[in-house]
């Protein structure tokens, strides 16, 4: 008889956490695209027979992880367990089922032991190009944005769907990278299944039911206990963001009860005509992530710890976009929802919630121009990711050039220059960009680049915090807003739209800084002196603290 003591179940839980981390590393190491291989724009997880997430890899982004948790339930319902065979793998990139836009592929593979399905492994990663107008906000509907693949079987009993692979290759400007990334996703699934079944063999498990119940029930109880420390109430916040055609208001009403939190987006602006709209699954993923950063942050992420947090929004608001709205750059606003949520939680837990940060990635999809390709320029499509500063925390400065909330690492200079014909001349922290306060906001960064060949390149901008900087808390000052410039042009470049950078022009982009926490005059003079010595704060910037020490 299998030992199901709490101690043994905990050992098996720890083993599962190791399995999913190996699964995630398999995907990263096998991937072709830098945004996966170098930046970790992925998710990987193990699910029980009911489709409940038991464990997820620490490496990954909330937009992939938390959407994957719901997507597996949908795919399991669509494809009956009785029809599955060993070696089957299912796939979709439907934004409203998977991860919010077409470029994210989600795969699901059943795990067999003793001739029957015992659980599932799943993973998600970003493919760099799927045709259409590409990774930019210019589409007028989902059909402009590339190839949509409904839920289907990618691998049938070990045989890959060759026609589907041909279709993906034929609809991409980077067919080799896409093919390689899909095979990396397959390898990730296979590694997860092999390690899961191996773990079950080692512990003599015929099924995952008892272990799954233990993980999910334990996590839920711990999360509910953490929620009990939050004062019951209704907390509201409004975040004004740059938008595209006009500024946008994001509204959140957070209701806290004894054992649950619910966030409602009622009051949020309606959808844009451009591709910055957000499917609710993606907005939910980041909103719940923000709640979990403050409440029960030490409890592993799984179906149990996620269950007490729910999100809703009126259909047609920009955080609950309906098909066929354009959603290619859904992360632009989706990754602002944590600041919306934290603004609510600050009212309940002022000593635990940081100031606002840059939040959105400074995501820069680059591509060759048609005229450049015709004149011998190199054809390419690549997506660069850079980050600004996080908000100062109660008791600590913010983090500089740090990937919060996305978790997607910044693109490396050397890798960028190896995969795209650009030269990066400067990448450095941006002095004075962190909001002044008793605790200083994290710094943004400045990056300057040019074309490395005698051909222009295109940049598809969808950036936030150029007009509305990160706000401080408790008397802290806002961080500096972001900025985009091209040398020789008098005006700053708008944060959204298609930008053509000609040979000889230098693209300069400054990422935003985080807000400060607490009154600047209360900053420790020794801390300010260190900032001055390191060039983080200039003599001019020190005036915000009441003068130089």
d(CA 451, CA 416): 12
d(CA 133, CA 443): 33
Task: Show the tokens assigned to 278.
Answer: 């957000």
Tokens 């498990």, located at residue = 205
74 plus 217 within the same structural domain:
yes
The values of phi and psi at residue 373, to 5°, are -65, -40
Give residue 118's pLDDT: 98
**Is 57 among the domain residues?**
yes
d(CA 181, CA 30): 8
Pairing of strands 261-264, 309-312: parallel
Domain membership of residue 405 as a residue range = 354-549
Within its chain, how far is the Cα of 191 from the centroid? 23
Number of CB atoms found within 10 A of residue 169's CB: 14
Are residues 505 and 529 in contact, defined by beta-carbon separation less than 8 angstroms?
Answer: no
**Is 271 among the domain residues?**
no
Span 136-161, mean pLDDT?
Answer: 97
Task: Report whether the peptide linkage leading into residue 240 is cis, meaning its omega lies within 30 degrees of zero.
Answer: no
Give residue 3's pLDDT: 74
Task: Show the tokens assigned to 244.
Answer: 């595209």
- Residue 2: which pLDDT band, with cuts at 50, 70 and 90? low
Give residue 378's pLDDT: 76
Residue 372 reports pLDDT greater than 80: no
Question: Can you give the C-alpha Rg of the chain in angstroms?
Answer: 23
Kindly give, in sequence order, each residue whose CB lies less than 8 Å from that of residue 188, ignoring residues fewer than 6 positions away.
23, 24, 26, 27, 30, 44, 107, 121, 123
- Where b means 16+ CB within 10 Å and e means fewer, 450-467 reads bbebebbbbbbbbbbbbe
Kindly give, in sequence order, each residue whose CB lies less than 8 Å from that of residue 18, ignoring residues fewer than 6 positions away.
none
Residue-averaged pLDDT of the chain: 95
d(CA 223, CA 158): 40
**Is 409 among the domain residues?**
yes
**Is 206 among the domain residues?**
yes
Q: Which of 421, 268, 412 is nearest to 337 (CA)?
A: 268
Are residues 362 and 331 in contact, defined by beta-carbon separation less than 8 angstroms?
Answer: no
Number of CB atoms found within 10 A of residue 316's CB: 13
Residue 548 reports pLDDT greater than 70: no
Q: Which of 36, 60, 52 is nearest to 289 (CA)?
A: 60
Pairing of strands 496-501, 507-510: unpaired
The values of phi and psi at residue 128, to 5°, are -75, -25
Percent of the chain with pLDDT over 90: 94
- Residue 59: which pLDDT band, with cuts at 50, 70 and 90? confident
Are residues 60 and 445 in contact, defined by beta-carbon separation less than 8 angstroms?
Answer: no
Q: Which of 329, 240, 349, 199 is nearest to 277 (CA)?
A: 329
- Where b means 16+ CB within 10 Å and e means fewer, 132-148 reads bbbbbbbbeebebbbbb
Per-residue pLDDT reduced to its tens digit, 230-284? 999 999 999 999 999 999 999 999 999 999 999 999 999 999 999 999 999 999 9
10 plus 153 within the same structural domain:
yes
Residue 287 vs residues 97, 282, 309: alpha-carbon distances, Å: 17, 9, 9
d(CA 506, CA 392): 32
Give residue 371's pLDDT: 76
Boundary of a domain, candidates 174, 201, 221:
221
Boundary of a domain, candidates 221, 239, 261:
221
**Is 294 among the domain residues?**
no
d(CA 313, CA 283): 10
- Residue 376: which pLDDT band, with cuts at 50, 70 and 90? low
The values of phi and psi at residue 428, to 5°, are -150, 160
**Is 61 among the domain residues?**
yes
Reduced to 3 states (helix: H, G, I; strand: E, B; else coil), residue 109 is strand
pTM > 0.85: yes or no: yes
d(CA 523, CA 534): 16
Task: Show the tokens assigned to 264.
Answer: 């409602």
**Is 340 among the domain residues?**
no
Are residues 398 and 442 in contact, defined by beta-carbon separation less than 8 angstroms?
Answer: yes
Give residue 549's pLDDT: 46
Are residues 458 and 367 in contact, defined by beta-carbon separation less than 8 angstroms?
Answer: yes
Per-residue pLDDT reduced to its tens digit, 5-48? 999 999 999 999 999 999 999 999 999 999 999 999 999 999 99
d(CA 346, CA 411): 32
**Is 300 among the domain residues?**
no
Per-residue pLDDT reduced to its tens digit, 274-315? 999 999 999 999 999 999 999 999 999 999 999 999 999 999
Per-residue pLDDT reduced to its tens digit, 310-341? 999 999 999 999 999 999 999 999 999 999 99
Give residue 375's pLDDT: 64
Span 372-397, mean pLDDT?
Answer: 88
d(CA 77, CA 50): 9
Residue 159 reports pLDDT greater than 60: yes
Task: Show the tokens assigned to 327.
Answer: 């959603």
Q: Which of 356, 355, 337 is nearest to 254 (CA)?
A: 337
Give residue 374's pLDDT: 67
Are residues 351 and 302 in contact, defined by beta-carbon separation less than 8 angstroms?
Answer: no
Per-residue pLDDT reduced to its tens digit, 479-531? 999 999 999 999 999 999 999 999 999 999 999 999 999 999 999 999 999 99
Helices (H), 79-228: 162-170, 175-203, 209-227
Percent of the chain with pLDDT over 70: 98
Per-residue pLDDT reduced to its tens digit, 421-468? 999 999 999 999 999 999 999 999 999 999 999 999 999 999 999 999
d(CA 41, CA 510): 22
Per-residue pLDDT reduced to its tens digit, 173-185? 999 999 999 999 9
Span 471-480, mean pLDDT?
Answer: 98
The values of phi and psi at residue 423, to 5°, are -115, 130
Are residues 355 and 470 in contact, defined by beta-carbon separation less than 8 angstroms?
Answer: yes
Boundary of a domain, candidates 194, 221, 248:
221
| CA quadruple 200, 204, 208, 211: dihedral sign | negative
How many structural domains are present in the chain? 2
Q: Which of 338, 331, 249 is nearest to 496 (CA)?
A: 331
The DSSP secondary structure of 341-390, one letter per residue, reads: HHHHHHHH-TTT-PPP---S-EEEEEEE-HHHHHTTPPP-EEEEEE--PP
Are residues 518 and 437 in contact, defined by beta-carbon separation less than 8 angstroms?
Answer: yes
Crossing angle between the packed helical segments 280-294 and 337-348, to the nearest 10 degrees: 40
* CA contacts within 13 A on the Cβ side of 418: 9
């Amino acid at each position: 008889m299998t030992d199901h003591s709490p101690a043994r179940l905990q050992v098996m839980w720890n083993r599962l956490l190791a399995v999913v981390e190996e699964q995630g590393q398999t995907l990263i190491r096998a991937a072709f695209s830098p945004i996966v291989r170098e930046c970790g724009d992925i998710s990987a997880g193990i699910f029980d027979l009911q489709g409940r997430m038991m464990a997820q890899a620490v490496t990954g982004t909330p937009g992939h992880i938390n959407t994957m948790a719901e997507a597996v339930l949908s795919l399991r319902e669509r494809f009956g367990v009785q029809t599955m065979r060993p070696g089957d793998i299912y796939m979709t990139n439907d934004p409203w089922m998977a991860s919010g836009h077409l470029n994210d592929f989600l795969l699901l593979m059943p795990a067999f032991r003793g001739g029957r399905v015992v659980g599932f492994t799943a993973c998600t990663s970003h493919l760099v190009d799927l045709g259409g107008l590409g990774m930019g906000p210019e589409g007028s509907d989902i059909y402009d944005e590339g190839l949509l693949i409904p839920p289907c079987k990618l691998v049938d009993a070990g045989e890959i769907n060759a026609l589907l692979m041909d279709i993906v290759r034929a609809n991409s400007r980077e067919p080799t990278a896409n093919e390689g990334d899909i095979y990396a996703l397959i390898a990730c699934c296979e590694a997860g299944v092999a390690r899961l079944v191996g773990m079950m063999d080692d512990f003599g498990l015929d099924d995952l039911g008892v272990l799954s119940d233990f993980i999910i029930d334990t996590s839920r109880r711990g999360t509910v206990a953490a929620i009990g420390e939050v004062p019951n109430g209704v907390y509201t916040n409004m975040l004004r963001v740059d938008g595209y055609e006009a500024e946008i208001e994001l509204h959140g009403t957070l209701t806290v009860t004894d054992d649950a939190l619910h966030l409602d987006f009622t009051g949020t602006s309606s959808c844009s005509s451009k591709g910055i709209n957000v499917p609710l699954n993606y907005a939910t993923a980041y909103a719940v992530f923000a709640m979990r950063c403050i409440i029960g942050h030490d409890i592993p992420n799984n179906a149990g710890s996620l269950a007490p947090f729910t999100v809703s929004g009126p259909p047609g608001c920009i955080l609950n976009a309906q098909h066929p709205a354009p959603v290619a750059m859904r992360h632009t606003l989706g990754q602002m929802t944590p600041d919306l949520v934290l603004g609510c939680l600050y009212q309940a837990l002022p000593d635990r919630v940081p100031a606002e940060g840059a939040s959105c990635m400074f995501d820069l999809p680059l591509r060759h121009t048609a005229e450049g390709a015709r004149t011998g320029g190199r054809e390419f499509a690549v997506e660069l990711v850079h980050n600004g500063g996080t908000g100062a925390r109660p008791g600590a400065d913010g983090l500089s050039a740090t990937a919060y909330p996305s978790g997607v690492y910044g693109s490396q200079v050397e890798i960028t220059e190896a995969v795209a014909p650009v030269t990066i001349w400067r990448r450095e922290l941006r002095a004075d960009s962190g909001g002044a306060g008793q605790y200083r906001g994290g710094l943004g960064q400045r990056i300057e680049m040019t074309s490395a060949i005698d051909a222009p390149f295109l940049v598809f901008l969808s950036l936030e915090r150029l007009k509305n900087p990160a706000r401080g808390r408790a008397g802290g000052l806002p961080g500096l807003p972001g900025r985009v410039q091209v040398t020789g042009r008098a005006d700053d470049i708008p944060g959204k739209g298609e930008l053509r950078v000609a040979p000889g022009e230098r693209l300069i982009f400054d990422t935003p800084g985080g807000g400060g926490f607490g009154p600047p005059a209360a900053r420790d003079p020794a801390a300010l002196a260190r900032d001055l010595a390191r060039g983080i704060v200039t003599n001019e910037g020190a005036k915000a603290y009441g003068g130089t020490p």
